[in-house]
């Protein structure tokens, strides 16, 4: 059964009206007056004004000081930019991740930095009955676990110092800093029984067209299957897969050869 807007709880109705305002703007109509917006969403000017004020306060809309017309604000650009990157990255990484999962038979995850934490944005489960998994969207620390440390390794000194003082560390700060340097040099990290007892992971960075680290590609599973003599082969496969995704994102092939 379809629920009319008038039947919705007040908070939901207000949110829907705000969304309706944002949907008023199109490529053909990038700027609109208060009256035009009010007419489009069929709402009183007084109510429309209050909604626009809240949206403007949060930078979802901006008011042109010369024409007094409204346009979409910079916050939507920032959100759209992040969403666009994630969507593009997931799409580009899909086939490589599936192939890596089939090759290793372990769970393959794609992590991105989310504030001071890391978030899994894509996952292909292990083909084995006993497997290691994380939830899509779950926030995890960057100071422990292979994927987290890969993301941390490429951040600024101030960022590293801050999160090291707030998030769990399994070693000393000095040892972790040295490990992060090695991760940058080798483009590879591994963690055995580090974030969770009985689980292990390996990870490699993904770069964009500008050479910026944008994500971490990880393979994880039960520690019993991460045997020391097999880790060199895992490293080779994982680093190659991460570089393949990087090349798809426009990362220069020449840099691959130089490092």
Query: Tens digit of pLDDT for each residue in 184-224?
Result: 999 999 999 887 888 899 999 999 988 999 999 999 999 98
pLDDT higher than 50, residue 48: yes
pLDDT higher than 90, residue 252: no
pLDDT at 77: 82
The two three-digit tokens of residue 26, written as one number: 């199109």
Q: Are 217 and 97 in contact (CB under 8 A)?
A: yes
Output the pTM of the full model. 0.66
Query: Tens digit of pLDDT for each residue in 86-113?
Result: 668 999 999 999 999 999 999 999 999 9
Give the separation between CA 124 and CA 218, rounded to whole angstroms: 11
DSSP readout, 125-179? --SSSS-----TT-EE-SSSSHHHHHHHHTS-HHHHHHHHHHS--SS-HHHHHHH
pLDDT at 78: 79
pLDDT higher than 90, residue 239: yes
Average predicted confidence (pLDDT) for the chain: 89
If you average pLDDT over each of 12-16, 186-190, 229-233, which comes out highest? 186-190
- At residue 195, the 3 state secondary structure works out as coil
How does residue 254 score in pLDDT terms, banded at 50, 70 and 90?
very low
Low-confidence winner among 115-129, 217-231, 244-258 (lowest mean pLDDT): 244-258
pLDDT at 149: 97
Query: Tens digit of pLDDT for each residue in 119-174?
Result: 999 999 998 888 787 888 888 999 999 999 999 999 999 999 999 999 988 889 99
The two three-digit tokens of residue 174, written as one number: 């000095």
């Amino acid at each position: 059964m379809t629920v009319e807007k008038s039947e919705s709880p007040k908070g939901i109705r207000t949110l829907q009206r705000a969304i309706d305002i944002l949907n008023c703007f199109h490529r053909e109509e990038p700027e609109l007056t208060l009256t035009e917006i009010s007419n489009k969403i069929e709402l009183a000017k007084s109510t429309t004004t209050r909604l626009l004020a809240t949206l403007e306060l949060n930078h979802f809309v901006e008011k042109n000081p010369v024409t007094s017309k409204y346009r979409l604000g910079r916050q939507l650009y920032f959100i759209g930019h992040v969403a666009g990157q994630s969507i593009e990255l997931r799409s580009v990484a899909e086939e490589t991740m599936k192939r890596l999962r089939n090759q290793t038979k372990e769970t393959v995850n794609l992590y991105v930095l989310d504030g001071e934490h890391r978030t899994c944005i894509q996952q292909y489960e292990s083909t084995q009955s006993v497997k290691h998994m994380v939830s899509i969207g779950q926030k995890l620390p960057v100071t422990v676990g292979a994927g987290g440390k890969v993301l941390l390794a490429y951040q600024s000194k101030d960022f590293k110092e801050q999160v090291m003082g707030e998030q769990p560390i399994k070693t000393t700060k000095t040892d972790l800093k040295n490990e992060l340097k090695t991760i940058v040099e080798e483009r590879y990290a591994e963690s055995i029984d580090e974030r969770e007892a009985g689980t292990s992971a390996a990870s490699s960075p993904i770069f964009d067209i500008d050479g910026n680290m944008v994500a971490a590609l990880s393979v994880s599973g039960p520690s019993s299957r991460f045997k020391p003599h097999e880790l060199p082969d895992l490293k080779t496969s994982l680093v190659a897969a991460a570089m393949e995704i990087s090349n798809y994102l426009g990362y220069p092939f020449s840099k691959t050869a130089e490092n």
